């Protein structure tokens, strides 16, 4: 799959960098790094599990912008993953 766009965003309120891959103006890949360690993030492979999760729950997220919805999905995905490790 050829990615048409790849952008990185800093979300200060959530203390993370997010990389969004798009094709035909649709999200096809997500990746994030919590805190300041974003070196190499732009060239890192997408997080397939997070991307699938976001695409599945995106219609029910309450954010008013796409970035808010992505951050909501990241928090929910993180909580789900960490709660299943116990």
Question: 11-44: per-residue pLDDT in tens?
Answer: 999 999 999 999 988 999 999 998 877 778 888 8
In this prediction the pTM is 0.87
CA atoms within 13 A on the CB side of 1: 13
What are the percentages of helix, strand and coil residues in the chain, rounded to 5?
45, 30, 30
Helix orientation angle between 66-83 and 48-57, rounded to the nearest 10 degrees: 120
Identify the bridge partners of residue 9 per DSSP, sorted by sequence position. 18
State pLDDT tens for residues 40-58: 888 889 999 999 999 999 9
């Amino acid at each position: 799959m050829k990615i048409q766009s790849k952008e990185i965003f800093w979300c200060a309120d959530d203390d993370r960098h997010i990389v969004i891959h798009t094709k035909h103006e649709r999200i096809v890949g997500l990746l994030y790094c919590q805190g300041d360690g974003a070196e190499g993030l732009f060239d890192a492979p997408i997080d397939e599990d997070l991307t699938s999760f976001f695409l599945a729950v995106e219609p029910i997220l309450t954010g008013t912008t796409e970035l808010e919805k992505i951050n909501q999905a990241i928090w929910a995905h993180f909580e789900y993953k960490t709660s299943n490790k116990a």
